[in-house]
Amino acid sequence: MNGWAIAKRIVQVSGNVLQVQQGSLYPALHRLEHQGWIKAEWKDSENRRRAKFYALTAAGRKRLKSEVDNWYRLSNAIGLVIETI
Amino acid sequence: MPWVAVIRNTLRSLFKRRQLEVELHEEFEYHLQHEIEANLRAGMPPDEARLAALRLIGPISLQQEECRDSRGVAFFETSLRDVRYAARMLRRTPLFTAAAIVTLALGIGANTTVFTFVENILLRRLPVREPHRLAFLNRDGIVNVSYPTYLDLRDRNGVFSHLAAYRFVPVSMSVQLRENCRVWGYAASGNYFDELGIQPFLGRFFGPAEDDQPGANAVVVISHRLWRDRFASDPNVLGRQVKLNGYPFTVVGVSAAGFTGTELILSADYWVPLSMVAAIEPGSDWLRSRSAQNLWALGRLKPGVLQSQAEADLNRIAQDLAGVYPDILDRKTRFHLSTPGLLGQALRGPITTFGLVLTGIGALVLLLACVNLAGMLTARSSDRRREVGIRLALGAGKLRLFRQLMTESLLLALSGAATGFALAFGACRIFSSWHLALDIPFETAIRPNARVLCFTAAVAFATTLLFGLLPTLQTLRTDLIPSLKNAPGTRLRGWGVRDLIVTGQIALSVILVICSVLVVRSLQRALDVKLGFEPAHAISASFDLRLQGYDSQRSRAFDDALVAKVSSLPGMRAVGLINDFPLRIGEDSSAVMRPDRPTPPPSERREAVVYKISEGYLKAAGTRLLRGRDFESRDRQVSPAPVIVNQALTNALFPKEDPIGKRIRLNTSPADPGLEIVGITETGKYESLGEDPKPAIFLPIQQNGTAETTLVVRTELPPVEASGMLRKAILDLDPDLTLYAVGGLQDQLSLPLFPARAAAIVLGIFGIHAIVLAATGLFALMAYAVARRTREIGIRMALGARPTEVLSSIFRRTLLLSAVGISTGTLAALAAGRLLSAILYGISPRDPLTYATAILLIALVALIACWHPATRAIHIDPVTTLREE
């Protein structure tokens, strides 16, 4: 997926809740790329223009899974704590 | 983190910057175009579509900058930019830059040279297996043990896995048809190589089995250097015969190139088993003698044994031995262990002190250089206030500016360090090529290595902080408004950073000059010291008759013939022989007692240096006879044998008595008739120039056989010509003799004078360096201070101040700073003098004349440095200065 598509997707999936300056996405993508969690490739996009496409690497996929697990554990815990109030 | 990817990405960001830059723009451009197209499709007019897209994306340049930072090489890129900027700034002031680099190069070069010396001589370990477990035996400041004592120590101790003994011996080596050459090497015990755990380059080393029968195994291991130079790197050298002092030995091995024995400054060229000493020192029977203490002992501690435990064990054995041999050891005898390589504590102690003094003074010189630079940079930083002010006003971060300014200092320091390292390299080359006119293979080669390079780099960073930090912080402490207006700082009076720097500079210079003058004057004293002989116009030549198989009768005849022949040569005013000339290495000594008094215990006996001389020697050497007479030819058969003693011995044994006609003896046997004193000479220097007056006795050479003989003549002929005549006279009598140490006595004094000379040269250079630094630094700071006050002085003059008043206001300040600096420096030098006293000879570390000279010198330098700027100040035309600003 290229940067523009990722930005659009975030807005869409979050139901317009997560609205940030779209440009701020790129430093984050570049950092992830530098650290080897995602990889990038230049390919022709649907409108025949060259674009940079990002994809998770194997290491990135593993890291994502552990981070997501972590997130669920944490948010569940927080949820439980909130419920008792 | 997947490190492979990170490293690949880092490398890519480093080397494909341009491509990444293009891609970065392309990526943002793609996003923008896509967004604009989407907006257009939604029906917006083109202008608004573009603006909305830009709004949505946010500040593009900022985000791109963040992308660049995320590449992980931001630090590197910023540094590169800073270095480029710094280089540009330094190029703009070439004079300042050159001065700074030269100042630093001299300071860092001096320190690198000193560190090379320390690293090569003091910190280097022997090239053997586990060198930290080796320990050298010292006994009450003496380094020698006798062979029987060594055997006792070796067999009875429970703390060493090996205990080896060795002795440094010169031999005359002949390799088949080649000319004889004199080489030095070790006679070593059989376990020597096992203890070291090293491998030979060729063949094998000898082992304990080859050392158990005296005279049975004539094997020799030669050094790599000897193999290369004397055997032309012959690969079939093993099994070849060489003659050592005329006795045939078989070469069994060649040592590895880096191994030249277990003493770092004495390089050995051969090794033979100790059991063979009778072959190379004919007639010697010291292997059986408990009183002939002439071996060095080196032990390898068993794993886990502490040095203190080993010393306790050795002392236990010494106590036992003292009970059995009260004549040799006494109960007060204490062994202690030291790091091997420098003849135990005997040499390591003084060399360590010397190294410490050099390091200390080198550090002071560098500190002075740093203070100097800090001064220059402070002056410069005031000039750059405007620039820094503008940049701060434009929103530059202080940390960022700090980093940039420090990069400039670092660049200076690194350039200085590189130049300094090159200088040190040259200095070490010169030092290493300094061949002493000596018979002994005295190793002076020192060379910088990787450790030295690390040291230089560390020094460079340290100096950066020292000279760069203060000026940089001062620059950054800029008030925006006045700096932009280029107004002078508000503080015209009171103590600023610059004043502290000037004071520090003066104080450091005072310390350095005092130390240098002290050492140089000490050398003068050492050169003036009473040697006990007159080196000018004396020529000597040494040879060893036993090496050619002479027995005592033949050698006596040879000596007589030689003296007669040389005496008949034209221009020889006096001719004499001595067994071993004073101030070379390896004096014989013996306990001296009075037969008419009870025998004192070993630790309370008087030791005297023993020389064997012929009649005429005292005159040839220029030793003054104070009372009594010289030997005469009739002394040869007289009993009791005559002896000549020096004043020191007289003072020790015969205070308030007339010693002429009295007797002394050299052993404890009551049957010995003793020696009758016939003459008293002045006290000279025998083992080292710095020694206290030492008792010495002279025996007639004709009654006492001697191995080595030195012919001494007194002549007005030039040394080269006279040496040639001596050489010819000796070789006419026996063409096969190997001669050594032929030449004027003055040249041969280079070894005893070496430490003092080296110290004087190094400290002399440091001292001059300090004065130059102080003068240039003071001059620059004074000139700058006056320049900054131009406006003030202009106003004063305009208001009617007289030139003398302006002058006195400038001078008053200088005088105050100088006085504070000089007194601080003097106090510090008094404290530092204690360390220096170890290498000073014949001069007190508080010598008032030295202090007066140094203080006057620095005061003078300060005055001169101030004179030019001050006179310029009073010629200031008020109108011009006021218009200027």
pLDDT tens digits for B661-693? 888 888 777 677 788 888 999 988 887 766 778
Partner-chain contact A27 B63, CB within 8 Å = yes
* Whether B6 and A34 lie within 8 Å, measured CB to CB: yes
B214 or B50, higher pLDDT: B50
**Residue from the list A21, A34, A50 with its beta carbon closest to the beta carbon of B57:** A21
Other C-beta atoms closer than 10 Å to the C-beta of B284 total 15
Q: What residue ranges do the domains of chain B occupy?
A: 3-72, 80-126+349-487, 131-340, 498-530+749-885, 538-748
Q: Does any CB of chain A come closer than 8 Å to the CB of residue B87?
A: no
By Cβ distance, the residue of B1, B9, B70 closest to A27 is: B70
CB B501 within 8 A of CB B781: yes
* Bridge partners (DSSP) listed for residue A42: A52
pLDDT digits (tens, 9 = 90+) for B556-589: 888 888 888 888 888 888 899 888 888 776 667 7
Nearest-angstrom CA–CA distance, B309 and B337:
11
Return the minimum-mean-pLDDT range out of B169-178, B527-536, B611-620, B714-723.
B169-178
What is the percent of chain B where pLDDT is above 90? 1
Point out which residues pair with B318 in neighbouring strands.
none
pLDDT value at residue A77: 92
**Kind and range of the H or E run holding B66:** helix B60-69
Q: Are B63 and A57 a contacting pair at CB < 8 A?
A: no
Residue of A nearest to B61 (CA): A23
Query: Is the preceding omega at residue B640 within 30 degrees of 0, hence cis?
Result: yes
In eight-state DSSP terms, residue B310 is H
Contacts of residue B254, defined as CB under 8 A and 6 or more positions apart, other chains included, come to B200, B201, B202, B203, B221, B222, B223, B224, B227, B237, B238
pLDDT tens string B468-499? 887 777 777 766 666 555 555 444 444 566 77
User: Mind listing the pLDDT tens digit for each residue in B623-661?
Assistant: 888 888 888 877 777 778 889 998 888 888 888 888 888
Per-residue pLDDT tens digits for B300-319: 888 888 888 888 888 888 87
B30 and A4 in contact by Cβ < 8 A?
A: yes
In the structure, what pLDDT confidence band is assigned to residue B109 with cuts at 50, 70 and 90? confident
Provide the pLDDT for residue A69: 94
Nearest chain B residue to A19 by CA distance is B56
Best of A4, A8, A9, A25 to disrupt the B interface (most B CBs within 10 Å) is A4
| A57–B56 C-beta distance less than 8 A | no
Mention every residue, 6+ apart, whose C-beta is less than 8 A from residue B389: B478, B480, B483, B484
Flag the least confident range among A48-62, B275-289, B496-510, B730-744: B275-289
- For B31, the closest chain A residue by CA position comes to A4
Q: In the A/B pair of chains, how many CB contacts fall below 8 A? A: 84
When scoring B27, B37, B41 by the number of chain A Cβ atoms within 10 A, the one with the most, hence best to mutate, is B27
- Dig out the tokens for B88 from the structure: 């540009």
pTM above the 0.90 mark?
no
Inter-chain CB proximity B9 and A49 less than 8 Å: no
Closest CA to B71 of B33, B16, B111, B133: B16
Cβ–Cβ below 8 Å for B58 and A26: no
Give the residue on A whose Cα is nearest the Cα of B64: A27
Average model confidence (pLDDT) across chain B? 80
Across B503-519, average pLDDT: 83
Mutate which of B61, B63, B73 to test chain A, going by most A C-beta atoms within 10 A? Answer: B63
**Cβ partners under 8 Å of residue B253, min gap 6:** B200, B201, B202, B203, B204, B205, B206, B221, B222, B238
Residue B434's pLDDT is what? 62
B-chain CB neighbours of A59 within 8 Å are: 1-2, 5
Name the DSSP letter for residue B178: S
Residue of B nearest to A25 (CA): B63
Taken in order B505, B510, B516, B520, is the CA torsion positive or negative?
positive
What's the pLDDT at B768? 79
Cα gap B702→B710, rounded to integer Å: 14
Structure tokens at B767: 């001292």
Measure the CA angle with vertex B143, ends B182 and B204; round to 5°: 50
- The amino acid that residue B52 corresponds to is A
Give the nearest chain A residue to B23 (CA atoms).
A52
Supply the ipTM of this predicted assembly: 0.88
Counts for chain B of helices (H) and strands (E), in that order: 27, 22
Inter-residue contact B154 to B326 (CB < 8 Å): no
| Cβ-based contacts of B30 with chain A (< 8 Å) | 2-4, 45, 49-52
- Closest residue by Cα to residue B725 from B741, B748, B743: B743
Q: Is B165 in contact with B274 (CB distance < 8 Å)? A: yes
HEC states along B670-719?
CCCCCEEEEEEECCCCCCCCCCCCCCEEEEEHHHCCCCEEEEEEEECCCH
| Mean pLDDT of the region B127-156 | 79
Question: Residue ranges of the domains in chain A?
Answer: 3-83
Collect all residues of chain B within an 8 Å Cβ-Cβ radius of residue A47.
34, 37
Q: Which residue pairs, CB below 8 angstroms and at least 24 apart, start in B652-658?
A: B652/B606, B652/B695, B653/B592, B653/B594, B653/B606, B653/B695
Contact between B31 and A35 using a beta-carbon 8 Å cutoff = no
**Architecture of the domain defined by A3-83:** Orthogonal Bundle (1.10)
Give the confidence band of B117 by pLDDT, cuts at 50, 70, 90. Answer: confident
Q: Of B65 and B435, which is predicted with more confidence? A: B65
Confidence of residue A76 (pLDDT cuts 50, 70, 90): very high
Please report residues of B whose CB lies closer than 8 A to that of A49: 30, 33
Using only C-alpha atoms, chain B has a radius of gyration, in whole angstroms, of 37
Q: Strand runs (DSSP E) across B74-147, as ranges?
A: 134-139, 144-145
Q: Quick one: average pLDDT of B508-528? A: 78
Inspect the interface and report whether the beta carbons of B30 and A2 lie closer than 8 Å: yes
Highest mean pLDDT range out of B38-47, B171-180, B343-352, B688-697? Answer: B38-47
Tell which B residues from 34 to 73 touch A, by Cβ distance under 8 Å: 34-35, 37, 56-60, 63-64, 66-67, 69-72
pLDDT value of position B492 = 44
Q: Does B13 touch chain A (CB under 8 A)?
A: yes
B515 pLDDT more than 90: no
CA angle B690, B695, B700 (to 5 degrees): 120
Q: Which residues of B touch A57 (CB under 8 A)?
A: 2, 5
Asked if residue B439 has pLDDT above 60, the reply is no
Distance CA(B534)–CA(B393), nearest Å, equals 78
Specify the 3-state DSSP secondary structure of B479. Answer: coil
All residues of chain A having their beta carbon less than 8 Å from the beta carbon of residue B41 are none
| Residue whose C-alpha is closest to residue B604's, from B659, B652, B654, B644 | B652
Predicted pLDDT of residue B491: 47
The dihedral through the CA atoms of B747, B748, B754, B756 has a sign that is negative
Contacts of A3 in chain B (CB under 8 A): 27, 30-31
AA letter at B674: G
